[in-house]
């Protein structure tokens, strides 16, 4: 039960006591630009160009892992969207059902009340999260910021993990909370059978 405690602590430290999610006109302008881009997304290339383009002004990241329910299992199916490929074998290792880092993160997020989760590359007393951190170190990354949408059962409706080369900030958490519905809708549309046939 250490993982949920760590997840809650990290999220509390990064969520400001100020209830406002928008702190400046510049943030509002960037948000509107991203919303406009998100609602136009129909294919995988559209989604890729968005998260590698104007979205980087909201949450800078090296890689994004998107998870949606797999109809053949009770778990999520993960896909990598990033500026460089990590390979199918590496992604399979990260998303393996028997303690894969992505499932560990998802479970910690759910146990933490489905609040934004931040994992920092520091010494962890929890074995499972320690394994996640080691995987991140090997990829040359620093922090993870993750969030999702609760589902009707034990499986979330969606889960997104941003892999960052620099420490996650309060602003990252705020921006993810604002953009999560648009991120989910855009990913879902681009994942539909017809759209998914067009590869980036």
- Dump pLDDT digits (tens) for 1-35: 233 333 444 444 454 445 678 888 999 999 999 99
Does the pLDDT value for residue 198 go beyond 60?
A: no
Q: What is the mean pLDDT of residues 125-154?
A: 72
Q: What is the mean pLDDT of residues 67-76?
A: 84
Confidence label for 129 from pLDDT (cuts 50, 70 and 90): low
Confidence label for 131 from pLDDT (cuts 50, 70 and 90): low
The pLDDT value given to residue 39 = 96
Kindly report the average pLDDT of the chain as a whole number: 80
Burial of 14 (0-12, 13-18, 19+ CB in 10 A): buried
Q: What is the mean pLDDT of residues 55-63?
A: 92
Q: Are 171 and 15 in contact (CB under 8 A)?
A: no
Q: What is the mean pLDDT of residues 24-53?
A: 94
Which of 19-23, 114-118, 134-138 is the least confident region?
134-138
Confidence label for 167 from pLDDT (cuts 50, 70 and 90): confident
Q: What is the mean pLDDT of residues 29-57?
A: 95
* Alpha carbon distance 85, 102 (integer Å): 17
Does the pLDDT value for residue 147 go beyond 80?
A: yes
Which span out of 50-64, 81-95, 102-116, 124-138 was modeled with the highest average pLDDT? 50-64
Residue 15: C-alpha distances to residues 19, 20, 28, 158, 160 (Å): 9, 11, 18, 21, 18
Whole-structure pTM value: 0.80
Structural domains of the chain, with CATH? 2-15+31-196 (3.30.450.80)
Confidence label for 53 from pLDDT (cuts 50, 70 and 90): very high
The pLDDT value given to residue 166 = 78
* Alpha carbon distance 10, 42 (integer Å): 34
DSSP 113: T
């Amino acid at each position: 039960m250490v993982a949920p405690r760590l997840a809650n602590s990290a999220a509390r430290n990064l969520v400001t006591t100020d209830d406002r999610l928008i702190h400046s006109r510049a943030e509002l302008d960037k948000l509107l630009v991203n919303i406009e881009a998100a609602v136009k997304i129909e294919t995988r290339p559209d989604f890729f160009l968005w998260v590698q383009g104007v979205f980087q002004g909201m949450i800078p990241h090296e890689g994004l892992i998107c998870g949606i329910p797999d109809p053949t299992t009770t778990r999520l199916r993960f896909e990598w969207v990033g500026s460089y490929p990590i390979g199918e074998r590496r992604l399979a290792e990260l998303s393996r059902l028997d303690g894969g880092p992505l499932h560990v993160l998802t479970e910690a997020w759910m146990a933490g009340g489905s609040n934004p989760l931040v994992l920092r590359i520091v010494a962890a007393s929890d074995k499972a999260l320690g394994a996640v951190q080691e995987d991140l170190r090997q990829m040359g990354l620093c922090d993870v910021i993750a969030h999702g949408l609760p589902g009707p059962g034990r499986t979330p409706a969606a889960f997104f993990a941003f892999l960052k080369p620099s420490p996650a900030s309060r602003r990252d958490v705020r921006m993810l909370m604002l953009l999560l519905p648009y991120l989910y809708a855009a990913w879902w549309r681009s994942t539909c059978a017809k759209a998914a046939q067009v590869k980036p």
